[in-house]
A = this chain, B = another copy of it.
Amino acid sequence: VSQRAAASRPGGRSSRVLTAIYTAVGELVGEGADKISFPLIAERAGVNPTTLYRRWDDVNALLEEVAVAALTRCSESPPDTGSLERDLTEWAEIIARDITRPERTRYLRATVSARVEIVSRCPVMETRREQALEMVQRARERGESTPTVTQILDHIIAPLYHRVAFALEVEPGYPRQLVRDVLAMAR
């Protein structure tokens, strides 16, 4: 049984434990806790630290899982408006609003601090890649010319995350401008 499956099974003991753990992580990140460790999370969640050591390889794996859960909850399925430009603009605006919320910005910065070695998997980017692929495939079926999925990630997602990580302002028109730029690549 995966963490996700356990989390969605209603009423189970492991579901309650997982909710407590996720909530504790969310609170600690939200408070800007300096050094988030298994014992600290366990204490806040009221669970035995061994529960954490057994389920996750390290604290970063847990942080990442919580970040992805928070992310996918906000935007399971990408917009479907009938035009790639509108789809991408709505999607980029949702993401910009999401990552500029103070708690999400803290998550994002916590991710940067937590990653000291090159990572081989970045679940947040994988989720974004799947969403981008869905929008691009629909556009191609409609006969629109499209940028590649990689271009969408490099030129919409990366600049948005860059601004938020480095505490630069994300102006309201910024997501739309990035979408215009990336669509110009496809022409």
Contacts and interface: CB of A to CB of B under 8 A. Distances in A.
Interface in A22-41: 32, 34
A144 to B, nearest CB: 17
Given A159-B159, A181-B155, A113 B109 contact: yes
Given A181-B185, A184-B185, A185-B185, A161 B151 contact: no
A187 B183 CA distance: 12
A57 B121 CA distance: 39
A119 B185 contact: no
Interface in A100-158: 109, 111-113, 115-119, 122, 125, 151, 154-155, 158
A109 B117 CA distance: 12
A59 to B, nearest CB: 15
Given A109-B112, A113-B109, A178 B166 contact: no
B113 A166 contact: no
A32 to B, nearest CB: 8
A176 to B, nearest CB: 13
Contacts of A155: 154-155, 159, 181
Contacts of A42: none
A70 interface: no
Contact of A165 (B165, B177, B184, B185): B165
